Amino acid sequence: MSTELIGLRPARTSDCEPLAAIRDDAWRVAYRGLIDGIELEKLIARRSPGWWQGAIMRGVNILVLEIAGELAGYASYGTCRIPGHRGAGEIYELYLRPSHQGLGFGRMVFCAAGTELEAKKLEGLAVQVLAANEPACRFYKAIGGRLTGKSAMRTGAGKLDLSIYFWPPRTN
């Protein structure tokens, strides 16, 4: 039994349902009004607990935030897929339950995932975020991200603009 109230650990297959619920709730709060409602629900439905189980079984790096024994957030991360940032790390997703946002937990998860990426000897860190998601853009700027480019994502309802934030490698 752990005596820690707040902890970070790799995701386990027993986390699949809470991971799906966290993403569902966070997406509905973050993207309602930014993504067409029907398209938003289609995008949310793609990440069922079964999807999460497959990702964990394939070895996708997923770090979960656990508070008082309950999952409150997660980050997935790995080698950067963004052109122009090859050799860097990337945080693919970072989501918290809406009830846990604005309390410093996002920064905690971001920093822990960044440390994991540094240990893999990746040069810097990148994040892509929906450009219209102003709270997320403010968050990444506040923790030192520099806007380095734009990208786009196609959905059934059209194109969504993305902003790319980058953190250079830390020097010791």
Is there a domain that residue 64 lies in? yes
Is there a domain that residue 10 lies in? yes
Is there a domain that residue 1 lies in? no
| Phi/psi at 78 (5° precision) | 175, -155
pTM exceeding the 0.75 threshold for the entire prediction? yes
Rounded Cα–Cα distance for residues 134 and 68 (Å)? 30
Summarize pLDDT for 110-145 with one digit per residue, the tens.
Answer: 999 999 999 999 989 999 999 999 999 999 999 999
The string of DSSP letters for 117-145 reads: HHHTT--SEEEEEETT-HHHHHHHHHTT-
Is there a domain that residue 53 lies in? yes
Summarize pLDDT for 2-17 with one digit per residue, the tens.
Answer: 567 999 999 999 999 9
Is there a domain that residue 111 lies in? yes
Find the CATH number of the domain harbouring 31.
Answer: 3.40.630.30
Q: Are strands 158-167 and 125-130 parallel, antiparallel or unpaired?
A: antiparallel
- Buried b / exposed e over 32-41, threshold 16 CB at 10 Å, is eeebeeeebe
Q: Which domain holds residue 124?
A: 6-167
Given a contact cutoff of 8 angstroms between Cβ atoms, the answer to whether 65 and 14 are in contact is no
Is there a domain that residue 172 lies in? no
Number of domains in the chain: 1
